[in-house]
């Protein structure tokens, strides 16, 4: 049965009846990065690409580069050790997480209309339950992703961070929403904004609840996702494997979804 299933999947990928959707934003010097106020500590650097050789005297037959970037840059995976609440879990770094956890079913909660009307939109427990009533219960071991179409702002740091004198304005979950999703046994939470929390999350209780609570539960995060508007509410499979950085707190990923 297992061999037949894999053979059928391989045939479907070749024929195109199962499609691969790229959920990843371009990664380069123009990639927006998170900006933290000085009181929160140091910021991650912008992406820098350094040429080693390009078919020249430094390497006549090849081109290659070395990169300078933060672990949590662009479309990226958050490991539990990224947050203080998850620092003591076993297998909590990018090199120790079981690879089975990088492939899972995915639920996509579409709140793009709400986010378009209000950039500070917050997903609530009531809204999740409404979605479940329409689409079915969220399964244990699955990802939950919030679709807001925020990724369409990703070409500009200004529009993506959407900050003013009062701080950033971007959608995300309430603490209660994350707590509810954890009761469902999900493997991770992700969204299209620069991080897994709303722009207003620093003032929530606890602060930054998607980070605080998900990693406290030894679960994972995905940020700066793209193209969630191409996924169904249910039925897709998410592949999001971080680089195997030793003791890594996170990693840029090429996040992919399989849809039929």
- Exposed/middle/buried for residue 260 (C-beta within 10 Å: 0-12, 13-18, 19+): exposed
| Average pLDDT estimate for 220-234 | 98
Give the Cβ contact number of residue 14 at 10 Å. Answer: 9
Average model confidence (pLDDT) across the chain? 96
Quick check: 194 and 154 in contact, CB under 8 A? no
> Model's pTM, two decimal places?
0.96
- Locus of tokens 């691969």: 20
Summarize the confidence of residues 120-145 as an average pLDDT: 98
Q: How confident is the model at residue 38, as a pLDDT?
A: 75
Cα–Cα–Cα angle for 89, 90, 92, rounded to 5 degrees: 75
DSSP of 202-236: GGSSSSSHHHHHHHHTT-EEEESB--GGGS-SSSE
Span 164-192, average pLDDT: 97
Report residue 9 as tokens. Answer: 């999947």
Question: What is the predicted pLDDT for the residue at 3?
Answer: 79
Alpha helices in the chain (DSSP H): 2-15, 112-117, 125-135, 157-161, 175-183, 209-216
Which among 139, 212, 138, 142 is positioned nearest to 172, based on CA atoms? 212
**Which residue among 50, 72, 76, 82 is the active-site one?**
82
- Residues 177-199 have a mean pLDDT of 98
| pLDDT band at residue 25 using 50, 70 and 90 as cut-offs | very high
The number of beta carbons lying within 10 Å of the beta carbon of residue 126 is: 11
pLDDT digits (tens, 9 = 90+) for 70-118: 999 999 999 999 999 999 999 999 999 999 999 999 999 999 999 999 9
Whether the CB-CB separation of 113 and 149 falls below 8 Å is answered with: no
Q: Answer yes or no: is pLDDT of 1 > 70.
A: no
For the residues 192-206, what does the mean pLDDT come to?
Answer: 96
Residue 54's CB: how many other CB atoms inside 10 A?
11
Summarised one tens digit per residue, pLDDT across range 8-19 is 999 999 999 999
Catalytic: 215? no
């Amino acid at each position: 049965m297992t061999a037949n299933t894999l053979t059928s999947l391989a045939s479907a990928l070749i024929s195109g009846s199962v499609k691969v959707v790229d959920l990843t934003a371009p990664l380069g010097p123009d990639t927006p990065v998170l900006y933290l106020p000085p009181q929160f500590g140091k910021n991650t650097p912008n992406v820098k690409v350094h040429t080693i050789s390009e078919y020249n005297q430094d390497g006549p037959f090849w081109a290659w580069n070395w990169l300078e970037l933060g672990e949590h840059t662009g479309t990226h995976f958050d490991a539990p050790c990224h947050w203080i609440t998850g620092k003591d879990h076993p297998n909590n770094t990018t090199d120790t997480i079981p690879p089975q956890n990088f492939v899972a079913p995915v639920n996509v909660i579409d709140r793009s209309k709400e986010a378009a009307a209000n950039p500070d939109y917050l997903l609530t427990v009531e809204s999740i339950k409404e979605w479940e009533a329409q689409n079915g219960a969220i399964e244990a071991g699955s990802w939950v992703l919030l679709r807001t179409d925020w990724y369409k702002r990703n070409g500009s740091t200004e529009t993506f961070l959407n900050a003013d004198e009062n701080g950033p304005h971007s959608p995300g979950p309430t603490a209660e929403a994350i707590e509810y999703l954890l009761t469902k046994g999900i493997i991770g939470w992700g969204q299209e904004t620069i991080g897994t929390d709303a722009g207003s999350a620093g003032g929530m209780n606890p602060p930054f609840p998607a980070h605080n609570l998900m990693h406290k539960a030894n679960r994972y995060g995905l940020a700066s996702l793209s193209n969630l508007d191409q996924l169904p509410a249910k039925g897709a499979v998410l592949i999001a494997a971080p680089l195997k950085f030793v003791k890594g707190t996170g990693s840029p990923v090429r996040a992919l979804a399989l849809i039929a």
